[in-house]
Amino acid sequence: MKEFKYDISVIGGGIVGLAAAYKLQKKYPYLNIVVLEKENELAFHQTGRNSGVIHSGLYYKPGSYRAKNCVDGRKQLVSFVKKYSVKHDICGKIVLATNHKEKEKLSELKQRGEQNGLINLEIIGPEKIQEIEPFAKGIAALHVPESGIVDFKGVTNKLAELITEINPKSKILTSCEVLDVNEESLITTIGTINTFHSVFCAGLFSDRLSEKDKMNPDLRIIGFRGDYYDLEDHAKEKVKHLIYPVPNPEFPFLGVHFTRMTDGSIECGPNAVFTFKREGYGKTDFNLRDTLEALTFSGTWRLFINHWKFGWNEYRRAFSKRLFLKELNKMLPDLKMSDIKVGRSGVRAMALGKDGEVIDDFKIVKNKNNIHVLNAPSPAATACLSIGDEIVKQATKSFNLKKNKC
User: Does the residue 71 lie in any domain?
Assistant: no
Same domain flag for 107 and 182? no
Is 341:243 a contact under the CB 8 Å cutoff? no
Q: Does residue 86 lie within any of the structural domains?
A: no
Q: Please check whether residue 85 lies inside any domain of the structure.
A: no
Count the domains in the chain: 3
Residue 269 belongs to some domain of the structure: yes
For the segment 363-386, what is each residue's pLDDT rounded down to a tens digit? 999 999 999 999 999 999 999 999
The answer on 326 and 204 residing in a single domain is: no
Q: What is the pLDDT of residue 65?
A: 86
What are the distances in angstroms from CA 104 to CA 24, 96, 243?
Answer: 44, 12, 18
Total Cβ atoms within 10 A of residue 326: 12
Residue 297 lies in a domain: yes
Question: What pLDDT was estimated at residue 157?
Answer: 98
Distance of alpha carbon 398 from alpha carbon 406, whole angstroms: 18
Q: What does the alpha-carbon distance between residue 379 and residue 385 come to, in Å, rounded to a whole number? A: 11
Statement to judge: residues 224 and 213 lie in one domain: no
Residue 310's pLDDT is 84
What SS3 state is found at 69? helix
User: Do 348 and 369 belong to one domain?
Assistant: no
Q: Are residues 169 and 231 in the same domain?
A: no
In a shared domain, residues 255 and 336:
yes
Whole-angstrom Cα distance, residue 52 to residue 370? Answer: 30
Please answer whether residues 278 and 287 qualify as being in contact, where contact means their C-beta atoms are separated by less than 8 angstroms: yes
CATH code (residue 41)? 3.50.50.60
Q: What is the pLDDT of residue 1?
A: 61
318, 242 Cβ separation under 8 angstroms: no
Helices 321-328, 308-318: axis angle to 10 degrees equals 110
315: domain CATH number is 3.30.9
**pLDDT value of position 360:** 87
Q: What is the pLDDT of residue 206?
A: 98
Asked if residue 170 and residue 230 are part of one domain, the reply reads no
199 and 264 belong to one structural domain: no
pLDDT at 309: 86
Across-strand partners of 282? none
Give the torsion sign (CA, 5, 11, 12, 17): negative
Residue 243 located in a structural domain: no
Shared-domain flag, residues 276 and 214: no
Provide block-wise average pLDDT over 10 residues at a time, the chain (406 residues): 89 98 98 98 96 92 90 96 98 96 95 95 97 97 97 98 98 98 96 97 97 94 96 97 88 83 95 95 96 96 89 90 95 97 95 92 94 95 97 95 72
Model pLDDT, residue 405 = 66
Same domain, 370 and 299: no
* Same domain for 225 and 291: yes
pLDDT score recorded for residue 249: 67
Residues 215 and 193 in one domain: yes
Sort strands 191-200 and 2-11 into parallel, antiparallel or unpaired.
Answer: parallel
Residue 62 falls within a domain, yes or no?
A: no
Give the bridge partners for 181, in sequence order: 186
Find the domain containing 118 and state its range: 93-145
**How far apart, in whole angstroms, are the C-alpha atoms of residue 215 and residue 206?**
11
Domain boundary among 80, 115, 145: 145
pTM: 0.95
36 located within any domain: yes
> With contact defined as beta carbons under 8 Å apart, do 258 and 203 qualify?
no
Q: What angle do CA 31, 197, 183 make, to 5 degrees?
A: 145
Give the chain's length.
406
